[in-house]
């Protein structure tokens, strides 16, 4: 089986400081990869490099495109890369305000990606938007409300609907549950887990919350100071941490 | 005799503007940056249009200036006087007699011909501006032909009002490539953007020039189930009786009285001279 995404020795430096360095991994279709680490460990830098928001200094990122098979996304033209990020990729930001258009209704937010890939039938776009709002548990009477009238949890769910509407194969998530209270977090995780299973999505989730990766991720990568210090199956890494930093991370969780 | 260089601007400036115009004509709908000059009028009064007109004028030209269709409003009168003084060109109020027409927010009712140039005054040339405030981003969107956002605006219109409520500055796609703001003309005028005349757009404050060459395909954006409609007030003109022209609504008293008149004053006057009459026409010739 060809990996959906494979990263080969990705490195990104900010001047002489290390953003992340020597990161390699394969992500297979349907697999969820978690990236954990403390603040400043380079996990967001890595995610942004993978998603094409930042240009890494070295390395290559091969994505298995629908038409041409594996291609290096860093060598693609910008038009191709942006097309990819509208269709096969999705990016869920930590702060929904970064991923949503706050002045545009919920329906318009969901419909934007459809219109960006050429949908020109209002009725169909609206039906699709209604369907997706339903799938993320937002009732259809909120279809024409602006995201600024939504609660934080609803905004995050709307952002997810907006991203998944074009049926992407790979989702990048940057701390999708950050800033939400625990009960809302639990529901969001439940929803995400359902969607990932149902649509057979592959996902890369960056978080510092070990509970999130425990629930969602199949495999785990632990980062510290820009380096990957440990990677493996989630349960294996969390239950039998080998590296000192991972042991510290796992033992830092408060048991209630 | 005046001490101004012909048409106010110096020759180097006019060359610079003409170069931008050539590029604009070569790439229809593309916004060409140009080094807009300070003009002796405030921004928003047509500084872009005036510079384009100045760069196009020759001593043999006949100039017509319209403001919202009218020849006799402040903006039209002052710009006409400006060129009478600085270029000593002939001026006219008749669409047919003009070779260069500078316009603000209207296209004349009378069909234009191949030997005419229509110059638009443009306040905000970027159709995506209110959807995406970053100029770097909108330029990239134009370059990569990412126009989904434009339809988001139309979607919002329908979601909120039940129909596309954008009634002026209605976005168009030029020659199947660039999405363009046709300046704040009513959408009634959009079909007239496909014409035999050369159309030039100048935005002074925003320092952009763009163009639609003659007989270029101009398509107003819409949805399959909500097609574009060139709408106007559903009345005949109260002075000339025309049913096919764009109308201004004029409040006549404080008791709800109103009249509808052609916004194109020259066209309306011509029709009245030909004997057409409307509801409120003076009745002196009835006797």
Answer whether B151 sits within 8 Å of A115, measured CB to CB: yes
Q: What's the pLDDT score for residue A1?
A: 82
> Would you call B156 an interface residue with chain A, using a CB distance cutoff of 8 Å?
yes
Q: What is the largest CA-CA distance in chain B?
A: 67
- Rounded CA separation B137/B143 (Å): 10
**Mean pLDDT of the residues in chain A:** 91
Please tell me which residue, B58 or B132, carries the higher pLDDT value.
B58
pLDDT in tens, B248-266: 999 999 999 999 999 999 9
Contact residues on chain B for A105, CB-CB shorter than 8 A: 156, 159-160
Query: Would you list the DSSP string of B243-271?
Result: SSS-EEEEE-SSSS-EEEEES-HHHHHHH
Query: Which of A110, A118, A125 would you mutate first to test chain B, the one with the most B CBs within 10 A?
Result: A125
Answer whether B149 sits within 8 Å of A144, measured CB to CB: no
Sign of CA dihedral A209, A211, A214, A217: negative
Is the pLDDT at A241 greater than 80, yes or no? yes
Local structure of A66: helix, strand or coil: coil
Contact residues on chain B for A98, CB-CB shorter than 8 A: none
Other CB atoms within a 10 A radius of the CB of residue A60 amount to 16
Q: Give the pLDDT band of residue B1 (cuts 50, 70, 90).
A: low
ipTM summary value: 0.85
A/B interface, count of CB pairs below 8 Å? 52
User: Among residues of chain A, what percentage have pLDDT more than 70?
Assistant: 100
- Which of A82, A113, A122 lies at the smallest CB-CB distance from B155? A122
Q: Which is the catalytic residue, given B256, B262, B275, B278? A: B262
Answer whether B151 sits within 8 Å of A105, measured CB to CB: no
- In Å, what is the CA distance from A126 to each residue of A123, A159, A164, A165, B152? 5, 16, 15, 12, 11
Q: Which is the catalytic residue, given B49, B237, B257, B278? A: B237
Are the beta carbons of A224 and A212 closer than 8 angstroms?
no
Local structure of B174: helix, strand or coil: strand
Are the beta carbons of B170 and B182 closer than 8 angstroms?
yes
Min Cα distance B33 → chain A (Å) is: 23
Other CB atoms within a 10 A radius of the CB of residue A243 amount to 15
- Which of B140, B148, B223 lies at the smallest CB-CB distance from A112? B148
Q: What's the pLDDT score for residue B268?
A: 95
pLDDT in tens, B158-189: 999 999 999 999 999 999 999 999 999 999 99
- Rounded CA separation B197/A180 (Å): 59
- Which of A113, A120, A143 lies at the smallest CB-CB distance from B223? A120
Q: Which of A2-6, A53-57, A208-212, B45-49 has the lowest mean pLDDT?
A: A208-212
Q: What's the pLDDT score for residue B68?
A: 92
pLDDT in tens, A152-167: 889 999 999 999 999 8
Answer whether B156 sits within 8 Å of A113, measured CB to CB: no
- In Å, what is the CA distance from A11 to each residue of A45, A47, A252? 10, 12, 29
Q: What is the largest CA-CA distance in chain A?
A: 56
Task: Specify burial of residue B256 (Cβ count, 10 A radius: 0-12, 13-18, 19+).
Answer: exposed
Q: Which is the catalytic residue, given B29, B46, B49, B204? A: B29
- Which of B140, B152, B226 lies at the smallest CB-CB distance from A115? B152
User: Among residues of chain A, what percentage have pLDDT more than 90?
Assistant: 69
Please, where are the H alpha helices in A39-181? Answer: 43-50, 78-87, 96-99, 106-116, 122-135, 152-164
For the question of residue B56 being annotated catalytic, the response is no
Residues on A contacting B at a C-beta cutoff of 8 Å? 78-79, 82, 86, 101, 104-105, 107-108, 111-113, 115-117, 120-123, 125-126, 143-144
What is the DSSP-derived secondary structure letter of residue B37?
P
Is the pLDDT at A119 greater than 70, yes or no? yes
Q: What's the pLDDT score for residue B2?
A: 63
pLDDT in tens, A196-218: 888 889 999 998 888 889 888 99
Query: Which of A122, A142, A166 would you mutate first to test chain B, the one with the most B CBs within 10 A?
Result: A122
Answer whether A105 sits within 8 Å of B226, measured CB to CB: no
Answer whether B152 sits within 8 Å of A104, measured CB to CB: yes
Residue of B nearest to A105 (CA): B156
Answer whether A108 sits within 8 Å of B146, measured CB to CB: no
pLDDT in tens, B207-218: 999 999 999 999
For the question of residue B49 being annotated catalytic, the response is no
Average pLDDT over residues B98-106: 96
Q: Give the pLDDT band of residue B144 (cuts 50, 70, 90).
A: very high
Contact residues on chain A for B144, CB-CB shorter than 8 A: 78-79, 82
Among A194, A199, A133, CA closest to A167: A199
> Would you call B162 an interface residue with chain A, using a CB distance cutoff of 8 Å?
no
Q: Is B216 left (phi over 0), alpha (psi -120 to 50) or beta?
A: beta
Answer whether A108 sits within 8 Å of B155, measured CB to CB: yes
Min Cα distance A158 → chain B (Å) is: 16
Q: What's the pLDDT score for residue B287?
A: 44
- Rounded CA separation A111/B206 (Å): 31
Answer whether A121 sits within 8 Å of B223, measured CB to CB: yes
Query: Which of A106, A113, A115 would you mutate first to test chain B, the one with the most B CBs within 10 A?
Result: A115
Query: Which of B141, B146, B148 would you mutate first to test chain A, the one with the most A CBs within 10 A?
Result: B148
């Amino acid at each position: 089986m060809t990996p959906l995404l494979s990263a080969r020795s990705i490195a990104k430096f900010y001047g002489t400081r290390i953003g992340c360095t020597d990161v390699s991994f394969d992500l297979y279709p349907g697999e969820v990869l978690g990236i954990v680490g403390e603040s400043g460990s380079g996990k967001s830098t890595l995610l942004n490099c993978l998603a094409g928001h930042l240009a890494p200094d070295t390395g290559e990122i091969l994505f298995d495109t629908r038409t041409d098979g594996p291609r290096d996304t860093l060598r693609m033209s910008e038009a191709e890369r942006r097309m990819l990020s509208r269709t096969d990729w999705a990016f869920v930001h930590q702060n929904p305000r970064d991923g949503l258009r706050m002045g545009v209704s919920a329906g318009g937010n969901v419909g934007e990606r459809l219109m960006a890939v050429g949908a020109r039938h209002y009725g169909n776009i609206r039906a699709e938007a209604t369907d997706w709002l339903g799938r993320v548990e937002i009732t259809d009477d909120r279809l024409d409300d602006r995201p600024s009238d939504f609660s934080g949890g609803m905004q995050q769910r709307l952002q997810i609907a907006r991203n998944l509407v074009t049926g992407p194969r790979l989702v990048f998530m940057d701390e999708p549950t950050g800033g939400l209270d625990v009960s809302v977090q639990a529901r969001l995780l439940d929803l995400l887990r359902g969607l990932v299973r149902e649509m057979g999505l592959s996902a890369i989730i960056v978080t510092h919350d070990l509970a999130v990766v425990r629930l969602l991720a199949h495999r785990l990568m632990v980062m510290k100071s820009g380096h990957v210090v440990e990677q493996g199956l989630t349960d294996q890494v969390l239950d039998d941490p080998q590296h000192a930093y991972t042991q510290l991370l796992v033992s830092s969780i408060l048991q209630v | 005799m005046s001490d101004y260089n012909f048409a106010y601007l110096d020759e180097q400036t006019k060359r610079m503007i003409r170069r931008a115009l050539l590029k604009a004509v070569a790439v229809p709908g593309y916004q060409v940056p140009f080094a807009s000059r300070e003009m002796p009028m405030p921004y928003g009064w047509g500084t872009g249009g005036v510079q384009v007109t100045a760069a196009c004028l020759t001593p043999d030209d006949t100039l017509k200036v319209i403001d919202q269709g009218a020849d006799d409003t402040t903006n039209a009168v002052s710009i006409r006087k400006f060129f009478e003084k600085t270029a000593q060109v002939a001026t006219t109020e008749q669409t047919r007699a003009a070779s260069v027409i500078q316009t603000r927010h209207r296209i004349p009712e009378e069909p234009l011909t191949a030997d005419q140039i229509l110059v638009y005054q443009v306040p905000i040339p970027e159709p995506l501006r209110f959807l995406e405030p970053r100029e770097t981003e909108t330029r990239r969107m134009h370059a990569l032909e990412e126009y989904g956002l434009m339809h988001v605006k139309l979607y919002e219109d329908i979601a909120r009002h039940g129909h596309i409520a954008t009634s002026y500055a209605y976005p168009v796609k030029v020659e199947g490539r660039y999405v363009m703001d046709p300046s704040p003309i009513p959408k009634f005028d959009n079909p007239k953007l496909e014409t035999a005349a050369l159309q030039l757009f100048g935005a002074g404050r925003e320092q952009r020039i763009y163009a639609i060459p003659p007989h270029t395909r101009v398509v107003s954006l819409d949805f399959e189930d909500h097609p574009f409609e060139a709408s106007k007030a559903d009345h005949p003109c109260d002075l000339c009786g025309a049913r096919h022209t764009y109308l201004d609504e004029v409040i006549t008293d404080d008791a709800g009285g109103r009249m509808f008149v052609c916004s194109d004053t020259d066209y309306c006057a011509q029709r009245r001279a030909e004997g057409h009459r409307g509801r409120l026409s003076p009745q002196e010739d009835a006797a």
